[in-house]
């Protein structure tokens, strides 16, 4: 008569730890991918809805841009506009707070641009700093756009550190398509404001995000200047580089692989000891 092997509590615990480690490792790998896909789909839907609404509002374009230009003149100090703060969120508001969208071919970014930089805004897209010009183009304007890094639900500006000088950034506002070429990249303290100054002779754009990745003690500023837009700019393909977020992901995957490896070794050794006792 064969004796039935008894499963000890210690063996059950070992098996449980192994299964839990595998599940946790798979979750770490799959969850960001799924959340990223869902969020990007929502962003694409928001942009499609924006384009549909904007294409049906030709008569309103002139008035919207006139209001935005007036706001920009007030920001630059050229005119006085007491009610600019109260009107801010309504200017260029074509579709649910979206004023337009940004494309960065180098890193495959295509996200809506919202009014303001409140946390609610930055969780779903790119925010426009109200203290800077609206991104409608024009000499004497300097627009600043801010985005999060490292959100599990979206890339946003996670890979902004991959952008290089002479890369192109495309801004689409209603029926306007604006192209900006990167001319400078700098890392500054959080309270540094000189990089957002207006130059009366230039049309400028600055992208802002936190750095280093997952530490966020400083700010990464990507400065760009208006250049002539060409259709192929939205399809620029450049060689891929390793970003800070890639390094973090590789480290995380390495830790998961190490945990699984240790679990497998422990289980195999335990089984060998059990067999040697039989």
Q: In the block, which residue shows the tokens 């890392």?
A: 187
Write a three-state SS string for the chain.
CCCCCCCCHHHHHHHHHHHHHHHHHHHHHHHHHHHHHHHHHHHHHHHHHHHHHHHCCHHHHHHHHHHHHHHHHHHHCCCCCCCHHHHHHHCCCCECCEEEEEEEHHHCEEEEEEEECCHHHHCCCEEECCCCCCCCCCCCCEEEEECCCCCCCCCCCCCHHHCCCCCEEEEEECCEEEEEEEEEEEEECCCCCHHHCCCCCCCEEEEEEEECCCCCCEEEEEEEEEECCCHHHHHCCCCCCCCHHHHHHHHHHHHHHHHHHHHHHHHHHHHHHHHHHC
| pLDDT at residue 53, as a whole number | 80
Q: Per residue of the chain (278 residues), give pLDDT as tens.
A: 444 555 566 666 666 776 676 677 666 666 555 666 666 677 778 888 888 887 776 667 888 899 999 999 999 887 777 677 788 999 998 777 899 999 999 998 899 999 999 999 998 899 999 999 999 999 999 999 999 986 766 788 989 999 999 999 999 999 899 999 999 999 999 988 889 999 999 999 999 999 998 788 999 999 999 999 987 776 655 444 455 555 555 566 666 667 666 767 776 676 677 666 65
Closest CA to 234 of 38, 47, 34: 47
Question: Which CATH number applies to 9-277: 3.40.50.300, 2.30.40.10, 2.40.260.10, 3.40.50.980?
Answer: 2.40.260.10
What was the pLDDT predicted at 169?
97
Report pLDDT for 245: 52
Q: Can you give the pLDDT at residue 252? A: 62
Give the C-alpha separation, 62 to 68, whole Å.
10
The confidence score (pLDDT) of residue 30 equals 61
């Amino acid at each position: 008569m064969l004796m039935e092997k008894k499963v000890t509590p210690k063996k059950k615990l070992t098996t449980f730890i192994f299964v839990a480690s595998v599940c946790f490792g798979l979750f770490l790998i799959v969850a960001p991918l799924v959340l990223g896909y869902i969020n990007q789909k929502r962003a694409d839907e928001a942009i499609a809805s924006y384009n549909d609404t904007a294409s049906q509002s030709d008569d309103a374009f002139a008035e919207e841009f006139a209001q935005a230009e007036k706001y920009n003149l007030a920001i630059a100090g050229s005119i006085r506009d007491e009610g600019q703060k109260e009107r801010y969120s309504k200017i260029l508001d074509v579709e649910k707070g979206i004023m337009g969208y940004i494309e960065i071919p180098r890193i495959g970014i295509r996200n809506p641009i919202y009014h303001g930089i409140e946390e609610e805004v930055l969780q779903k897209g790119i925010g426009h700093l109200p203290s800077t010009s609206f991104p409608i183009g024009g000499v004497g304007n300097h627009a600043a756009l801010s985005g999060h890094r490292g959100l599990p639900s979206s890339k946003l500006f996670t890979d902004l550190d991959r952008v290089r000088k002479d890369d192109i950034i495309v801004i689409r506002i209603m029926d306007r398509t604006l192209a900006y070429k990167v001319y400078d990249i700098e890392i500054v303290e959080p309270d540094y404001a000189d990089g957002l100054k207006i130059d009366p002779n230039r049309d400028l754009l600055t992208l802002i995000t936190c750095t280093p990745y997952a530490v966020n003690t400083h700010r990464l500023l990507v400065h760009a200047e208006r250049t002539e837009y060409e259709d192929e700019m939205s399809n620029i393909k450049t060689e891929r580089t390793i970003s800070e977020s890639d390094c973090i992901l590789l480290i995380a995957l390495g830790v998961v692989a190490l945990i699984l490896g240790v679990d497998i070794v422990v289980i195999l050794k335990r089984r060998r000891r059990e067999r040697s006792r039989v």
